[in-house]
Structure 1
Amino acid sequence: MAGTRTPADEAREAVVEAALGKLDLDAKTRLLAGQDMWSLPALPEIGLKSLVMSDGPIGVRGVHWTADDPSIALPSPTALAATWDPALARRAGTLLAQEARRKQVHVLLAPTVNLHRSPLGGRHFEAYSEDPYLTGEIGSGYVQGVQSGGVGTTVKHFVANDAETDRFTVNNLLSERALRELYLAPFEAIVANAHPWGIMTAYNSVNGTTMTEHHHLVNEILRGEWGFDGVNVSDWTAARATVGAVEGGLDVAMPGPRTVYGEALATAVRAGEVEEAKVDEAVRNVLRLAARVGILEGAEPVVTEPPATVDGEALAREIARRSFVLVRNQGALPLGEGRGEGGHKVALIGAAARDARVLGGGSATVFPSRVVPPLDGLTAALPEGSLTYAVGADPNEELAVADRGFTLRAVCRDRAGTVIGTGSAPNGQIQWMGDDLPEGVTHATLHSVELTGTFTPRESGTHTLGIKGLGAFTLTVDGTVHFDDIQRGTKDDPFEAFFGAPVERAQVDLVAGETYEVALRHVIVVPEGAPLKMIGFALAHQDPRRDPDELIAEAVEAARAADTAVVVVATTDRVESEGFDRKDLRLPGRQDELVHAVAAANPNTVVVVNAGSPVELPWREEVAAVLLSWFPGQEGGAALADVLTGAHEPGGRLPTTWGSHAAAPVTQVVPADGELPYTEGVFIGYRAWEKEGRTPSYAFGHGLGYTDWTYESIELGGGDAGAGAGSGTTVTVRVRNSGARAGREVVQVYLAPVEADAERPARWLAAFAGVEAGPGESVDVVLALPRRAFEVWDESTGAWVFVKGSYEVAAGRSIVDRRVAATINV
């Protein structure tokens, strides 16, 4: 299914086999274990260089977790999926390959193609959609783009890694049918369409077996049925047992140097517990990847001439505006011009308008060289004097890493207090993994790290400082010690120091513009037997907390004096992040109250929702427009100005259903006794909303532009739907731009059995395509219905079954806004 080998593939295979034949057992098993946090060891005896991996998916962080090594930050995966444009996803991937080569990275740990099973999933911003077909199409484009640049991908997290609670140990229980029709489907499509060079197996178990040891899902389905011939790498620290992992098809255990492979695997082979042929197969897969990316001597890489250079900032801006979903517009957008003596006055409101949240928390984090917040974007785009700004309400009820106004560096000392090295700390955060330490510093000699420098506040008042991390700390501000004690963890999570919440430790009265000395000293203790050595902590800070009522009152006055009020509301990294799920779908702080108040003062209120996944919008009928901006990447503010002013239309459509927590059909993400049953079966997302007869706030596929579209006709043709993708039935939909300006429409085709079947969804997405047209122009859109759209997984036979009968083929603007339909008998 993954495709036949070309002569170039065969030539690489010959080099791989020759190299494999030169390795002894110890070298082979060493190659399957990370030598550090991000890389595999070089084997000079066969001309193999060290293979380097890096986190994605919105950028390439590289091997250093620091703002000193900046990266392009694209919009979140939910934003990319909202474009409904696989070709744009491919362009994004091409840029990321360019970034990877710049940072000497060979494999990108992305894309994430787990599904939005429940809106409470805390890491959903890093996945694409609730729909497996849309996810597979966007993911295929992304993988094709990255690998067109000669850089490998690892499609993750295989499989059913759809929530964060107890993610290291949870046993997810789900039917074979749900696995096949939903959770495996994006992986299957990407293997077939994009031939990824890697896949990452998840922490969780599926039906009793941890994924790093899952022989059935990895060896029998992924490799056997689908023909996947790439590398299977563990999620970081996920591999638990030497024999179980190698028998289950795991090729690489990350990170190193302490893993279940390496010396432990060689010992198992010598003891007769593992056949060396199993090791050889894993090594063969690693060498094949090395050959493909060009680090195995004698093997020609797949890509010898990288694609043309991509302008990263321009592409980030384009993806952002193409992803924005306008879910409501009562004539407020685009912003009016020339109204009133001083032109059209805009009041911009919201803490996130000034300090934008452009990406989600966790391992998806990268450090862009610049960020354009909405305030800067609109200031540049609007006439001078036409824009005012008010905070209104701050969603950041917790401290954030010390960034704005801080100038810090890291000073490393040994046990005697002697300085043994220094490093920069441009955002008040230390995250050193493995041997990624400042020059001259080793884990053996390092005793303490001190973040030291100055802080110049932008506001006068009582500032709060705190600590993110675990262990012994001393916090000093302007010569006064405010904390000198041990900060302890709250849960058994090896990444808590990195992803946990900061703790308040000091409140200090400071004056704006004055410069103060600050220091945070941390005594380093790496637990004995830890699977990896990590040093992670941060100085945290929060500006003075003004009276919330006063802030809202100021915003109301600003809104009342403006022609249009633009309110930016947002989640925070304590709401949406890797490492935990959401408790509810409410916006943090008093942001809902702010919107209610502003809308009452100015009926021409536009709300921009800066969130990576669904939140409740209790005021949505009170405001004139609602624009979803996701986590829009580094150029988000510039893209927002493009869309609000009408220079470009918002191009996005919802890749997942937005509704209230109370109405959401699937909300169970917390395991009971270590198990999480997927009792809903194949009914997640819009499938579940329709089955339950519930009405969401905004339906899957919904999104408005700045022009109108008329669906004029639908015709079926092209042959037998059972003949397979590419040769099956085609759907031709004629659409006309019936508005006054050029625009882009996403034509969505949904398939529904004419005779209702309680075991199947009422309808499902079967095809989609984007189309552009000028005012009055009609365009024919031709879409193929793949065979899989008519199939279900039969658990009794263990096979896909083509379900004959009559189907409604409907085309329209969303799952609920279907404009034209025809019936097909198959």
Structure 2
Amino acid sequence: MDKIQEILQQLSLEEKIALTTGANNWQTVSFEKYGVPSVVMSDGPHGLRKEQVDENNPNVFNSVKATAFPTASLAACSFDRKLVGQMGKALGEECITQGVDLLLGPGVNIKRSPIGGRNFEYFSEDPLISGELGAAYINGVQSNGIGTSLKHFFANSQEFRRVTGSSDVDERTLREIYLTNFEIAVKKGKPWTVMAAYNKINGCFATENAKYNENVLRDKWGFKGAIISDWGATHDRIKALIGGTDLTMPKEQATAEVVQKIKHSPELQKVLDRNCERLLALALKVKEQRDKRKKESFKRSLKPLEVAQKVAEESLVLLKNKDQILPISKKQKITFIGDFAKNPRYQGFGSSHVNSIHVISALEAVSKITEVSFSQGYREDGQDALQLRSKAAEKAKKSDLAVVFVGLPETYESEGYDRSHMKLPENHVKLIDAVSKANPNTIVVLQNGSPVEMPWADKVKGIVEMYLGGDAGGQAIVNALFGIVNPSGRLAESFPYKLEDHSSYLFFGGEGDHVEYREGVFVGYRYFETKKMPVRYPFGYGLSYTTFDYTDLVVDQKDDKASAKVTVTITNSGDRTGKEVVQLYVSPHKGNIIRPVKELKGFTKVTLQPKESKQVSFELDHRSFAYWNVEEKDWSVETGDYDIIIGKNAHENILVQTIHIVGDTVKNQKLTELSTIGDLLKNPNGVKYWEKISDRFFEAVTESGFANQKTDTKQVTADELEEQKNNDMYKLLLSLPITTLSQMIPEYSLEKLKQDIAEVNHGSWRLY
């Protein structure tokens, strides 16, 4: 008998029930007499928020001092798995120093809309980026023997009514967009725990949703850890246990009714034992790692502030650099304008809020490099301040260039509520206008958790997107402005011109407690590129102080099945060392399945010295070409042509090569007399049937006078129909119901037609 089963047999029913909830806000129940320790948890994901036990100060922000790392919204722009993994490792070391066993992160939810209040905690609008970087983060943290909690599982796309709302999403969209990110992170990261979200999925609370918690997450993906609830997300202890939620947080005393129900139900007792086994496995893993650290005398290997700075520097995105106004020369007369230069917006608001050790502002950082003047420019409380703006414009006028620091104040975006628009505060916009009029050499630095509208973009020469850069964000900004580092970040989400352009605009927020994801798979760039909708800055966009050339795209297919090895050569054609994000997109040619025009299927970041070249490679597999087939309940590849695209970003193609793929054989759709001739020709037996009857059909069509001069009375094969499917005549033919055969052929009764269709469905038929 193994240790877990031995402990389980000794636990009383009441002890088992107690094990499935917290001992308090941040710890599980311990059973020292059985060798079961309490697991200590702490909020993340971009910094440790371990609350201090202080009865006199219950404020949630009364947490231990820690390093604030860049939020996921910024770190994602690195497109760098290794770098995000290093950040995770540094976070894991922070946990060890504070006695934390389980860090509540990363957040990999998809950014369905740019106004989601918690978007700063999430990586991307794209599931591949979200999943890959989420896995890198998990592997980094867990390399220290510290667990993670992958969150929030799943379809948790808004804060409005997040506790009661239902994300109503079709199965294909769930699989392709809102589950793929978690699937990648689970399979490649193997998190110790997964956190079930607040919301419902198609009417069923995430904490109670056995279909996805048990059947998908555990059975299909192989997840071996424990599922914990988001804090307060469990509404029914028994339904949550059955639904696969092992641990309800925070502490929630089981009612006498719950105890009695379990006591008198052998089936519920089996469910309870199953969940307790998972929690015991977690606790024993924690004990094992604690004992290991005691023996090895843990020492930090990373300096957290240095890691935070490196992540910020390599994630910052240069959006505009007209006339090469950047990098700045120290010889120039420079003014920094805007309160964010002195008091930066560097982290999100809510449960991820970090009590920072030391925040480096841009004003502090620049003082180590050169002398600049400073003007506040606007009031932090948002009130209009004409006098401050006038002083700023005057200083800008007397300078060679002005750097304006603006963005979204902390109250604009937070856990708990969503933004109502994408606009900057009015006093920030007025400041940009005033300064750019006073000095055309104006650079704007943005500090915000998610995209903003930029009606002022054409008035300035430089734009730097910093997102929320953590404690060392100010240093990273200055190093990029002065060319000490070469910007290499790329946007991990699209920046539309205005909120109304977004595919989710009409439906985000929902009606009452139901939120319909009517845009389906057309999220972010998948919509903009398919719709050919212009955006301010596309997904994957970002500039550098050097240039890169792409050559020698090779797509190697061993056969015509859905797999390929792709190689391409990148050359730094400029005179500065730089890093390029190589992006691979797959674009299916128009087929029977409605799909986005392109999807990211590979990415990597390479460092290149001036004039240096490197070859990078990607492996494309079945999933790279597949869509979720609802009827088959599996991934399917459609036969057809696919473009393999190396893109500068989601909008700009650099190199393209077309390949042909023979897709999967899927089960034949059952035909009826109301199915179309096009449906008939998708069925292999239906094709053979068509070859037998089409000559008589076309003769009858001609005899009836229905046909025009373009119609040939000779037999038209299925292959010929496929070749001519864009011809209007054949479009009409393919859309006709099969009953047309009996209507046009006098001797062919509807009853005979039904008999033949039944035999086609069974793989044989009679000839009349």
Shorter-chain TM band: 0.7 to 0.9
Report what 2:349 is aligned to. 361
Read off the aligned partner of 2:374 and give its amino acid letter. Y
**What residue number does 1:734 align with?**
569
Distance 1:192 1:130, change over 3 A: same
The equivalent of 1:533 in structure 2 is none
Hey, what's the Cα distance between the residues in 1 that align with 2:242 and 2:277? Answer: 15
Match of 2:347, as an amino acid?
A: L
Question: What is the SS of the residue equivalent to 1:803?
Answer: coil
State how far apart, in whole Å, the 1-side matches of 2:469 and 2:565 are: 35
Distance 1:661-1:721 versus aligned 2 partners, 3 A rule? farther
1:18 lines up with 2:6 in the alignment: yes
Call closer, same or farther: CA 1:793–1:68 in 2, change over 3 Å. Answer: closer
What letter corresponds to residue 501 of structure 2 in structure 1?
A
CA root-mean-square deviation: 2.1
Deviation at 1:18, TM superposition (A): 2.4
Answering whether residue 643 of structure 2 is matched by residue 808 of structure 1, we say yes
Corresponding residue number in structure 1 for 2:278: 285
Residue deviations 1:718-762, cap 9 Å, x none?
635856xxxx41111111111111100000001001236661000
Question: Match of 2:259?
Answer: 266
Q: Report the equivalent of 1:479.
A: none
**TM alignment of 1:517-532, pairs within 5 A:** none
- The one-character-per-residue Cα deviations of 1:372-423 (angstroms, maximum 9, x if unpaired) are 11111112222xxx301111123533xxxxxxxxxxxxxxxxxxxxxxxxxx
Q: CA shift at 1:364, angstroms?
A: 0.8
SS in 1 for 2:600: strand
Counterpart Cα distance in 1 of 2:502 and 2:76 = 21
> What is aligned with 1:671?
510
1-side partners of 2:344 and 2:33: how far apart? 50
Q: Which amino acid aligns with 1:570?
A: G
Counterpart CA distance in 2 for 1:238 and 1:308 is 35
Of 630, 639, 642, the match for 2:467: 630
> Per residue, is there more helix in 1 or in 2?
2
C-alpha deviation, 1:265, in angstroms: 4.4
Q: Deviations over 1:67-88 (max 9, x none)?
A: 5620111001011111001111
How far apart are the structure 1 equivalents of 2:26 and 2:379? Answer: 37
For 2:600 and 2:63, how far apart are their aligned partners in 1? 44
Runs of 4+ in 1 over 6 A off after TM superposition: 299-307
Distance 1:678 1:273 in 2: 40
In structure 2, how many angstroms separate the alpha carbons of the residues matched to 1:79 and 1:580?
21
The structure-2 alpha-carbon separation of the partners of 1:162 and 1:599, relative to structure 1 and needing over 3 Å to count, comes to same
Distance 1:304 1:21 in 2: 33
Q: Deviations over 1:214-259 (max 9, x none)?
A: 1111111111111111110001011011221111111000001x34
Q: Which amino acid aligns with 1:747?
A: V
Q: For 2:65, what is the secondary structure of its paired residue?
A: coil
Does residue 556 of structure 2 align to residue 717 of structure 1?
yes
- Give the TM-score normalised by the residue count of structure 1: 0.76
Structure 1 residue 623: Cα displacement: 0.8
Whether 2:452 is the aligned partner of 1:615: answer yes
Q: Aligned equivalents of 1:184 and 1:379: distance in 2?
A: 47
Cα deviation digits, residues 185-228 of structure 1 (max 9, x gap): 11111111111110000111111111110111111111111111
State how 1:628-777 maps to structure 2 within 5 Å.
628-659=465-496, 660-667=498-505, 668-717=507-556, 719-720=558-559, 722=561, 728-755=563-590, 759-777=594-612
Q: Which amino acid aligns with 2:44?
A: G
Change (3 A) 1:609 1:701: same
> Is the Cα–Cα contact under 8 Å of residues 30 and 262 in structure 1 kept in the other structure?
no
The secondary structure found in structure 1 opposite 2:207 is helix
State the AA in 1 paired with 2:326: P
CA distance in structure 2 between the aligned counterparts of 1:108 and 1:321, rounded to whole angstroms: 24
1:352 CA displacement: 1.0
Query: CA distance change for structure 1 residues 68 and 37 in 2, over 3 Å: closer, same or farther?
Result: closer
Does the 8 A contact of 2:37 with 2:287 survive in 1?
no
Distance 1:820 1:133 in 2: 21
Give the structure 2 partner of residue 232 of structure 1.
Answer: 227
Structure-1 separation of matches of 2:148 and 2:306: 23
Q: What is residue 316 of structure 1 aligned with on the other side?
A: 308
CA distance in 2, matches of 1:335, 1:275: 65
Query: In terms of Rg, which structure is larger?
Result: 2
* Alignment CA distance shift 1:103-1:332 (3 Å): same
> SS of the residue aligned with 2:426?
coil
> 1:330 pairs with 296, 313, 322, which one?
322
Deviations 1:252-294 (A, max 9, x none): 00001x34x4866433211328521111111111111122222
- Change in CA separation of 1:208 and 1:721 when aligned onto 2, cut-off 3 Å: farther
- Residue 568 of structure 1 is matched in structure 2 by 405
Aligned-partner SS, 1:650 = coil
Amino acid at match of 1:793: W
- Displacement after TM superposition at 1:789 (Å): 1.4
Residue in structure 1 matched with residue 336 of structure 2 by the alignment = 348
Question: What letter is aligned with 1:47?
Answer: G
State how 1:294-693 maps to structure 2 within 5 Å: 294=287, 309-337=301-329, 343-382=331-370, 386-394=371-379, 396-397=381-382, 548-659=385-496, 660-667=498-505, 668-693=507-532
**Secondary structure, in 3 states, of the residue corresponding to 1:574?**
helix
Matches within 5 A, 1:215-230: 215-230=210-225
CA distance in 2, matches of 1:252, 1:264: 19
Over 3 Å counting, the alpha-carbon distance change for 1:267 and 1:301 in structure 2 is farther
Report how far residue 302 of structure 1 moved: 14
Q: Secondary structure at the match of 1:380?
A: coil
Judging changes above 3 Å, is the alpha-carbon distance between structure 1 residues 655 and 106 closer, same or farther for their aligned structure 2 residues?
same
SS of the equivalent of 1:586 reads coil
**TM-aligned CA deviation for residue 821 of structure 1:** 1.2
Q: TM-score scaled by structure 2?
A: 0.82
**How far apart, in 1, do the equivalents of 2:316 and 2:591 lie?**
35
How many angstroms does 1:346 deviate by?
0.9
**1:663 Cα deviation from its structure 2 partner:** 1.8
Separation in 1 of the partners of 2:294 and 2:271?
26
Pairwise CA distance, 1:816: 1.1
After superposition, the Cα gap between the structure-2 partners of 1:77 and 1:303, relative to the gap in structure 1 and judged at 3 Å, is farther
What amino acid is aligned across from residue 203 of structure 1 in structure 2? Y
Q: 1:787 aligns with which of 608, 619, 622?
A: 622
Instruction: Give secondary structure in 2 for the equivalent of 1:360.
Output: coil
The unaligned stretches of length 5 or more in structure 1 are 1-12, 398-544
Query: How far apart are the structure 1 equivalents of 2:257 and 2:225?
Result: 23
Deviation per residue, 1:429-486 (Å, 9 max, x gap): xxxxxxxxxxxxxxxxxxxxxxxxxxxxxxxxxxxxxxxxxxxxxxxxxxxxxxxxxx
State the alpha-carbon separation in 1 of the partners of residues 603 and 438 from structure 2. 41
For 2:342 and 2:289, the matched residues in 1 are separated by 48
Shift in CA distance, 811/721, structure 1 to aligned 2, threshold 3 Å: farther
Q: Is the Cα–Cα contact under 8 Å of residues 291 and 301 in structure 1 kept in the other structure? A: no
Which whole-Å CA distance do the structure 2 matches of 1:263 and 1:148 have between them?
42
Find the aligned partners of 1:216 and 1:277 in 2 and give their Cα distance. Answer: 18
2:93–2:300 Cα contact (<8 Å) kept: no
Q: Distance in 2 between matches of 1:302 and 1:213?
A: 39
User: Does the 8 Å CA contact 1:721/1:786 hold for their aligned counterparts?
Assistant: no
After superposing the two structures, state which structure 1 stretch, 596-605 or 115-124, moved more. 596-605
Report the counterpart of residue 178 of structure 1 in structure 2. Answer: 173
Q: Which has the higher strand share?
A: 1
Residue type matched to 2:42 in 1?
S
SS in 1 for 2:2: helix
Q: Please, which of 33, 43, 49 is the counterpart of residue 55 of structure 1?
A: 43
- 2:618 maps to a residue whose letter is L
Unpaired runs of 5+ residues, structure 2, are: 53-59, 662-768
